[in-house]
Chain A
Amino acid sequence: MTAHPWLRGRPALAVLASVAAVAVAAATFTLSGGSPGRAFPALVPAAAPAGWPHLTLPNGTAVLSYPPSLRPTAGDSDAVSAAQVSPRGAFQLYLNATPRQGDEQLRGWAAFRLRLLTADDAASARELAAAQGVTFRGGTGSCVIDTYVTRIGAHHYQEIACLVQGRASASVIVAAAPAATWAQASPLLLRAVAAYQVR
């Protein structure tokens, strides 16, 4: 029996359609800002729960809310920080907000953050996920979730770091925890990031 020419061409059409579908999926993934390997968690901007203290940047351009289990800690004079530290001095939870200081840009933020980490205090750093166009209270930001090992002490941290652009200013919020406890710490840290307010 001889197949109709159109029917004989269908396998080729199916192959072409499959290739096209894969190409479209790959292009969509690239343009959507996803990182291979891990999806970026949803960040829904929301006011901090009642009872969470607040720290306002000295220049007044952003407000960092933090869980009551954290305490304000020392840092740069233009920044605010809060942390939960173990009795032995190990950081368990860490939050920091700092006004934009250098060449940080929303575009390319993830790469900038990783470069900064390895240029400053990390022996190695690796991106896990990234997102752009993240909505914050009062602004829009670019975020990266990465893991790094410090040069001092070889401490292994995981963090979410976001550059957030408000109406008239930009700032960076960092939420970090030891990589080993990130799974337990991240819900609270992400809640603090979602509550970050810029002006």
Chain B
Amino acid sequence: MSLTFIRSAAGAALLAVMAAGCGTAVTAEHAGAKPPAAAQPHHPAAAHAPVTMPASPPGTTAPATTAPAPATAPAPVTTAPASPANPIPQGNGGDHDPDNNGGPSDGDGNL
């Protein structure tokens, strides 16, 4: 057996070992890259927590108002406030306006 042949065989063996190592590394890398995808199904419950939005009574939601300045979409206008700020008694109450007796509403500021 010549020295040249021995060197060649040793070189081939070294290359084979390196190739096997690289294959293992690649396999490990793929295995490491998968978990995020595999873990995705575990996240939705936390990532998509229920969105709580105030419910509007049917028929009381008006179209979006028309403020020109904001660039963001204006929120829907709800026409049923939680509580009157300064209600004028109805039934000929308060200022005795027609609108306190079933007539059309005037333009006062609810004062």
Contact residues of A with B, CB < 8 Å?
30-37, 73-76, 79, 81, 83, 91, 94, 96-98, 100-104, 107-108, 110-111, 114-122, 124-127, 130-133, 146, 148, 150-153, 155, 157, 159, 161, 171-174, 176-177
**One of A130, A153, A176 near B105 (C-beta < 8 A):** A176
- The segment from B17-25, B34-42, B55-63 that touches chain A is B55-63
- A102 / chain B contacts, CB cutoff of 8 Å: 109-111
- A174 / chain B contacts, CB cutoff of 8 Å: 104-107
**Sampled A-B contacts (24; CB under 8 Å):** A32-B68, A33-B67, A36-B63, A76-B108, A91-B103, A96-B104, A101-B111, A102-B111, A116-B110, A118-B81, A118-B84, A124-B60, A124-B79, A126-B60, A126-B79, A127-B63, A131-B66, A146-B62, A150-B99, A152-B102, A171-B107, A172-B108, A172-B109, A174-B105
Contact residues of B with A, CB < 8 Å?
59-60, 62-69, 73-74, 77, 79-81, 83-88, 90-91, 95-111
A150 and B102 form a contact (CB under 8 A)? yes
B77 and A98 form a contact (CB under 8 A)? no
* Chain B interface helix/strand/loop/mixed: loop
> Once the chains are docked, how many angstroms separate the CA of A121 from the CA of B63?
21
B77 and A114 form a contact (CB under 8 A)? yes
- Name the residue of chain B whose CB is nearest to the CB of A125: B79
> Once the chains are docked, how many angstroms separate the CA of A3 from the CA of B97?
76
Q: List 8 additional contacts besides A100-B109, A120-B105, A125-B62; criterion CB under 8 Å.
A: A101-B110, A107-B69, A108-B67, A119-B86, A119-B87, A132-B67, A155-B103, A161-B107
Knowing A30-B64, A30-B73, A36-B63, say if A76 contacts B79 (CB, 8 Å): no
B108 and A119 form a contact (CB under 8 A)? no
B87 and A120 form a contact (CB under 8 A)? yes
